[in-house]
Amino acid sequence: MSVISSDAFVFFGATGDLAYKMIFPALQALIGSGGLRMPIIGVARGKMTLDQLRERARGSLREHGGIDAVAFDRLAAQMQYIDGDYNDADTYARLKQALGKANHPLHYLAIPPDMFGIVVEGLARSGCATGARIVVEKPFGRDLASAKRLNRILHDVFPESSIFRIDHYLGKEAVENLLYFRFANTFIEPVWSRTHIDNVQITMAENFGIQGRGSFYDDVGALRDVVQNHLLQVTALLAMEAPLGYEPEAMRAEKLRLFQAMRPLKPSQLVRGQFRGYRGERGVAADSSVETFAALRLHIDTWRWAGVPFFIRTGKCLPLTACEVMVSLKEPPLAVFDAASTARTNYFRFRLGPEVTLAVGARVKRAGERMRGESVELLARHRSVGEELPYQRLIGEAIRGDPSRFTSDACVEAAWAVLDPVWDNAGPVHEYAPGSWGPEAADAIASRHGGWHDPKKEKARPC
Ligand code: BG6
């Protein structure tokens, strides 16, 4: 692992949506914690001035997490801005000048993937890529072929060890805890396989729509926006074998094996939906067939998981915002006391956000003469005190050159390979009512395993 820290932070797409929602808050937090004493250079085609960019940063922080006066002043003072066309050599010449004495800049590409090639070439020609690292955002390509193309473009200029493919789910404590919990507790391993687990469900529900991101979203859809990356990563952490040590290479190797064991998705294992009203959103085609909802069934062909379906469901405009994993255990072999239950009674439930909860579902005897029971949850709630924002954490690690929480070229390609069979044959997109759990057609995906588990609103309970 490289020990050289980056000495300048450059972000392309400085006037864009991602910078506004995620990067400015992360930068302010990094400055606040002392982790970013270097030039911060925004680059964009925004037709803005530096002062206007500072105002935009202020607006971003007001909306996303609040202004820390001291850190913000430092951020504003450290900030520089280059307004220019990504196709124009002059943009990179000005960047080179702005970098001054910095020899190891970190370039963050918060721009659409079709611009990556142009910017990478511009960086290389101008000498700005020398000694540099690069951070690229998801979705990393549109399919396996384009992801391979992008990897080639990056590898022409940067060694793999200098490329950081960011997926903010990997910066979340609750997501990381999936792996920790599995391998730090002896009671998990004996049940964590096809012998005791009936099925695994991951639901990422959002009760809002596309929030003005029409032109981005209509080019991408739910599968590319969150399934290929966030939700397959969560699946990998739930299903992979223990890494041989905590070195980044060991983690990547096990993850890769897991992605490679995922059976390529068949169109019959996928149902797509689109919320009513989506086609009227700004930036969305009037006849768009892009999905805002996807439900799918995955199979992992390993000794541990053969025959255990992994269900993934995600959508915009669903009844609530929650990301939850439900690992359902098989029922006991005999119903000795009560009649056999139709409800899920034995399970592990991981609420990954917005609240963080870990619950184990169990049956216990209800007080009284008869041997009757009820379902209860043993619950642990996590309170995030001093937890870093995912982007803060990941940008900080990229600056320090730590690749542990970033995705390798091989893993990204293997994850695309799982979804590749459906791009040309994804089936119809079913309309669903905003506020519902998606189209009815999605029920069939999980029907043989007790149907979908709908995350509930978490009750406010003391920790
Ligand atoms: C982003 C997607 O990557 O993740 C968004 O582009 C989605 O569409 C978001 O809303 C969800 O992230 P989180 O951290 O709020 O679950």
DSSP 276: T
Tell me the three state secondary structure of residue 109: strand
- The residues facing 205 across adjacent strands are 315, 322
Question: What is the 221 CA–ligand 1 centroid distance (Å)?
Answer: 12
Tell me the three state secondary structure of residue 348: strand
Q: Which of 206, 275, 278 to mutate to test the pocket of ligand 1 (most atoms within 8 A of CB)?
A: 206
- Give the residue numbers marked as catalytic: 230
d(CA 69, CA 140) in angstroms, rounded, equals 35
Q: Which of 136, 225, 278, 392 to mutate to test the pocket of ligand 1 (most atoms within 8 A of CB)?
A: 225
User: How much is the pLDDT for 457?
Assistant: 84
Tell me the three state secondary structure of residue 392: helix
Any idea where the domains of the chain sit in the sequence? Answer: 8-137, 170-449
Residues 146 and 184: beta-carbon distance below 8 Å: no
92-120 per-residue burial string, b: 16 or more CB within 10 A, e: under 16: bbbbbebbeebebbbbbbbbebeebeebb
Question: What is the 317 CA–ligand 1 centroid distance (Å)?
Answer: 13
- The residue nearest atom 6 of ligand 1, judged by CA position, is 225
Question: What is the 332 CA–ligand 1 centroid distance (Å)?
Answer: 38
Q: Which of 140, 168, 173, 226 to mutate to test the pocket of ligand 1 (most atoms within 8 A of CB)?
A: 226
- Please report the atom of ligand 1 found closest to the CA of residue 204: 16
- Please report the atom of ligand 1 found closest to the CA of residue 213: 8
User: How much is the pLDDT for 300?
Assistant: 98
- Taking only the tens of pLDDT, the chain with its 463 residues reads 446 999 999 999 999 999 999 999 999 999 999 879 999 999 999 889 999 999 999 999 999 999 999 999 999 999 999 999 999 999 999 999 999 999 999 999 999 888 999 999 999 999 999 999 999 999 999 999 999 999 999 999 999 999 999 999 999 999 999 999 999 999 999 999 999 999 999 999 999 999 999 999 999 999 999 999 999 999 999 999 999 988 999 999 999 999 999 999 999 999 999 999 999 999 999 999 999 999 999 999 999 999 999 999 999 999 999 999 999 999 888 888 877 666 778 999 999 999 999 999 999 999 999 998 889 999 988 776 678 899 999 999 999 999 999 999 999 999 999 999 999 999 999 999 999 999 999 999 999 999 999 999 877 554 3
Question: What is the 298 CA–ligand 1 centroid distance (Å)?
Answer: 21
Domain 8-137 matching CATH 3.40.50.720: the answer reads yes
d(CA 430, CA 297) in angstroms, rounded, equals 17
Question: What is the 14 CA–ligand 1 centroid distance (Å)?
Answer: 19
Report the alpha-carbon angle 13-15-21, nearest 5.
90
Residues with CB under 6 A from ligand 1: 206, 225-226, 323, 353
- Please report the atom of ligand 1 found closest to the CA of residue 352: 16
Architecture of the structural domain at 170-449: 2-Layer Sandwich (3.30)
- The residue nearest atom 4 of ligand 1, judged by CA position, is 226
User: How much is the pLDDT for 335?
Assistant: 83
User: How much is the pLDDT for 462?
Assistant: 47
- Please report the atom of ligand 1 found closest to the CA of residue 220: 6
Question: What is the 7 CA–ligand 1 centroid distance (Å)?
Answer: 29
Question: What is the 215 CA–ligand 1 centroid distance (Å)?
Answer: 16
- Please report the atom of ligand 1 found closest to the CA of residue 169: 14
